[in-house]
A and B are shown apart, each in its own frame.
Chain A
Amino acid sequence: MRIGVDVGGTNTDAVLMDGRKILASEKQPTTENVSDGIVAAIKALFTTSGVAPTLIKNVMIGTTHFTNAFVERKGLLEVGVIRIALPATKGVAPMIDWPEDIAQSIGHHCYMIEGGYQCDGSLNAPLDEKALLQAVKEIGKKGLKTVAVTGLFSSVNASMEERAKDIILNELPDISVTLSSTIGRIGLLERENASIMNASLAHMSARVVKSFSDALKRLNITAPFYISQNDGTLMSAEYVEKYPVLTFASGPTNSMRGAAYLSGLKDAIVADIGGTTTDIGMLSNGFPRESTVPVDIGGVRTNFRMPDILAIGLGGGSIIKTGDALTIGPKSVGYKLLQDSLVFGGQTLTTSDIAVAAGYADFGDKSLVKHLPAKTIADAVAEIHALITEGVDRMKLSAEPVPLVLVGGGSILVNQKIPGTSNVITPEHASVANAVGASIAQIGGEIDQVYSYDEVGRETALKTAKDLAVQAAISAGAVPDSIIVTDMEEVPLAYVPGGAVRVRVKVAGDLAMEDNS
């Protein structure tokens, strides 16, 4: 048996799973110190199901904690930024494009050093170890606790970054080191940004992971726990401590994977309807489709593996304005839904009121929306469905109609057919889809390299890339037989003869379940 937990901004959800069965699910308010909310939610699971903590083999947790900390500039460390790329890249300094307030909290401790590779992994410049050592000594003098190291084309060849890490730890054994090759793809600036973000979260990640493990201890759960990352795969607790940045955007991923699981569909559109927004994404082969454009987090450009999510301003708390033409959102009453909306005795007309008035749902006091004109209700219902239809259409992978799966607390807003979809499904346990998604996450592996098709041929290149990705997944703890390719992308490099193609392969496999009884 295993437990899936989702620590959201408002609620902490937990589900108890036995193989493919959901035995129980619970919702509790998220607490300031995180662990209290987790303890409350899991305790409630044990109470309803009567299952003993010792029977739990794995715990999977999804959290938006780190994303929020970065966006809100809370509890971040100052970072020593080391770039190993000279003579290349000198024209763009680290953090050049960051908003000033966040650059301030990170500090401007940047060191640019000779070294790095070419796009085929061959040497571009040897590592200047003397200059590196000097930078490390300065970082030590400044008393910095964390460094981010970014090497030229390190996503193709990481050896130099690893050598740099040895030099750093030899001088400053207690410092936390983030290597960009472990985080990002080709595109130095974005990869460097992500590494700096990651380094700035080093202490918080240790704190949060400790808070999770304390919660499990208090519950007498001895099983290992994992944290889900933004591509729907799992990381060990130890790994999250090192790479908190990889949890960014795991929220939408978990809800989509959960939707896939609960509905039994591998290819579908998912709409996660919350209080303020609806996240619409596309499942292909059971995984969320990824975004191809760089993603901004808190104003900083990154190239994370992120699901391609379209957020629209429609949720259960969206405010409806009636007038010449009826409009919905993007303003929402948010968490004040239980005070401000009409059915709860408030003064604001919301989408939830429409759902009650139209007979889609029954909560609050129905009599408080009796006065609404039939035309208002009909117009609002039409507008809600039009917004969802538009969003769905924008996210579709092909012209073929696909099923639409609704999850999240706001899924009651939709009750009619959506054009362009084959059917609309609201599965059981839809409101805890996030926690379910966390509980079924897998172990992944990824490779991103440039090959010359003229030299090695396309088939050999793809096979080499696939094997490398599979190896990566196995060393991360996946069961070899279960590994499948989830995504493959070839990007020809324009303007260059020689058939250079950038190949990205992603694989995922089931977690090797450890027996801890």
Chain B
Amino acid sequence: MKFDKKSLEDFARGAAFLGTGGGGDPYIGRLLAQQAIAEYGAPEIIDADSLDDDALILPIAMLGAPTVLAEKAACGDDIDLALKRLSEELGRKPDALIPIEIGGINSTLPIMAAARAGLPLVNADGMGRAFPEIQMVSFNVYGCSATPLAVVDEHMNSVIVRASSAQKAESLVRAIAVSMGMSVMISCYPLSGKQVKAYAVKNTLSLATGIGQAIADGRKTGSPIEALLGFLKTTEYYRHCKVLFDGKITDLRRETTRGFSIGHCIMTELNGSGREMSVEFQNENLVARIDGTVCAIVPDLICIVDRETAEPLPTEALKYGQRVKVIGASVPPIMRTPEALNVFGPQAFGINEPFTPIEEFK
């Protein structure tokens, strides 16, 4: 598989869906990738299973405020430097790169990074969705260290972080990001081929592209939502999927605490039943309830889309009166194990509900 202009658009749209409201608008990420491909050629996309056990794989991502990234974009040299500094720290060059998350901006940045570095990009990521914090990654769940980790800005300032835990790394990097202007590039979780094969969520670049493609094709026939669900049902990870709600946004509350966008969105069912859905979010959508009863919960996917076009809507784009459909989908089994739920299950977000797989709700 190779990315070109058209498949990038599909990919970015699919990544926005898997971003479940958070992760930042992938628009600018798409353009960054587009330009890097035009300049350096499209990176080779390789299967996780083709990796040698002792290969070195580096994730690359952006961390900070998506609003700032939308102004600053990335310069390219910063991404190169993050990889260079981490390689120096590790004493060897990476054999391939991998996205840390497949939702939002961080799905497209690694394409740019791989194109520039002339490295292959692994068709996999660390969650099969998007999460707000560094420790919320399958690699951390299964014991891979988040550090050493490189943080850089566009002035070529860099910091190498070594921390006792992924959680500690997260809080250190946040503080560094603020002093670097609220938008930084990071390379973290240096992984062996063996670790990637064991703990990555596989095939997610193809899946995101397929999701975006299904929506685009569905628009041509006038039923993008059906097309989207039709595609999800053919996938191994997301096949337990359904429209949870068809409604109109009647209330929105967003506030910033601890550096996250936290709030809820209330929708009223369009058929006049009077039923209400509420979706709570911390950057990403976390839990959906109908009349107070949970019907989908993190780490499963809860995505709010435009009910006509199936365009995935980031939290910051929601507004009163929008007609939306809320789609729920399962995450890969590797993201639902007890160890995984300890790191990014409902309790990790302060939600006092047990995790129930979406297919077990009536």
Evaluate contact between A87 and B182: CB separation under 8 angstroms: no
B71 on the A face (CB < 8 A): yes
Partner of B182, one of A188, A292, A393, A496: A496
Q: In the assembled complex, which residues on chain A have CB atoms less than 8 Å from the CB atom of B319?
A: 292
Is the beta-carbon distance between A186 and B71 smaller than 8 angstroms?
yes
Interface code B256-284, partner A: CB below 8 Å = 1, 0 otherwise?
10111100000010000000000000010
Q: Which residues of A contact B97 (CB under 8 A)?
A: none
Which single residue of chain B is at the shortest CB-CB distance from A499?
B256
B126 on interface, CB distance cutoff 8 Å:
no
- Chain A residues 78-120 with CB under 8 Å of chain B are 85-93, 96-97, 118-119
Q: Write the chain A residue with the least CB distance to B314.
A: A494
Instruction: Known contacts A89-B75, A188-B73, A496-B182; decide if A491 and B68 are in contact (CB<8 Å).
Output: no
A338 interface residue, CB < 8 Å from B? no
Bitwise, B219-256 to A at CB < 8 A (1) or not (0) is 00000000000000000000000000000101000111
Are A495 and B259 interface neighbours, CB within 8 A? yes
A193 CA / B317 CA spacing, docked (Å): 21
Cβ–Cβ contact B72 & A152, under 8 A = yes
Interface string of A379-399 (1 = CB under 8 A from B): 000000000000001111111
Chain A hits for B354, CB < 8 A? none
Interface residues on A, range: 35 or more
Could you tell me the distance between the alpha carbons of A187 and B27 in the complex, rounded to whole angstroms? 11
- Is A397's CB under 8 angstroms from B77's CB? no
Q: Answer whether A394 and B250 are a contact pair too, CB < 8 Å, given A91-B73, A96-B34.
A: no
Closest-CB distance, B311 to chain A (whole angstroms):
10
Q: Do residues B321 and A396 form an inter-chain contact, with CB atoms below 8 A? A: yes
Contacts of A293 in B (CB 8 A): 317
Q: Are A89 and B73 in contact (CB under 8 A)?
A: yes
Q: What residues of A have a CB within 8 angstroms of the CB of B71 in the complex?
A: 119, 152-153, 186-188
Known A-B contacts A88-B154, A125-B155, A187-B70; the reply to A496 vs B35 at CB < 8 A is no
**What residues of B have a CB within 8 angstroms of the CB of A87 in the complex?**
75, 77-78, 154-156
Contacts of B255 on A, CB cut-off 8 Å?
492
In Å, the complex CA distance between A494 and B71 comes to: 15
A118 proximity list for chain B (CB < 8 A): 181-182
A397 touches B65 (CB 8 A): no
Evaluate contact between A91 and B36: CB separation under 8 angstroms.
yes
**Residues of chain A from 121 to 180 with CB closer than 8 A to chain B in the complex:** 124-125, 152-153
| A92 engages B178 (CB within 8 Å) | no
Contacts of A491 in B (CB 8 A): 67, 316
Q: A394 CA to B132 CA in the complex, in Å?
A: 32
In the complex, what residue of chain B is closest to A122 when comparing beta carbons? B181
Q: How far in angstroms is the closest Cβ of chain A from B192?
A: 29
CB distance from A162 to the nearest CB of B (A): 19
Task: Establish whether residues A398 and B73, one from each chain, have CB atoms under 8 Å apart when the complex forms.
Answer: no
Determine whether B112 belongs to the interface, using a CB cutoff of 8 Å to chain A.
yes
Structural contact, A501 and B72, CB atoms closer than 8 A = no
- The answer to whether the Cβ of B76 comes within 8 Å of any Cβ in the partner chain is yes
* A489 nearest CB across to chain B (Å): 11
B66 interface residue per 8 A CB criterion: yes
Nearest A residue (CB) for B316: A491
The answer, yes or no, to whether B349 is at the interface (CB within 8 Å) is no
User: With A96-B34, A395-B321, A493-B67 known to touch, is A498 a contact of B178 (CB < 8 Å)?
Assistant: yes
In the complex, what residues of B have CB within 8 A of residue A395's CB? 321
Report the minimal beta-carbon distance from A330 to chain B, rounded to whole angstroms: 14
* A497: chain B residues within 8 A (beta carbon): 174-175, 178, 258-259
A189 within 8 A of B: yes
Chain B residues whose C-beta falls within 8 Å of the C-beta of A91 in the assembled complex: 32, 35-36, 73-76, 79, 112
Within 8 A of B (CB), among A466-517: 491-502
Candidates B28, B63, B321; contact of A495 at CB < 8 Å: B63
Query: CB-CB < 8 A to B210: which residues of A?
Result: none
Q: Is the CB of B256 within 8 A of A92?
A: no
- When distances are taken between beta carbons in the complex, the residues of chain A under 8 Å from B142 are none
Q: Which 6 A-B pairs have the closest CB atoms?
A: A492-B256, A497-B259, A494-B261, A90-B75, A493-B65, A88-B72
12 CB-based A-B contacts, threshold 8 Å: A87-B77, A90-B73, A91-B36, A91-B79, A96-B34, A186-B67, A186-B71, A187-B70, A491-B67, A495-B283, A496-B65, A496-B68
Chain A interfacial positions (CB closer than 8 Å to B): 85-93, 96-97, 118-119, 124-125, 152-153, 186-189, 292-293, 393-399, 450, 453, 491-502
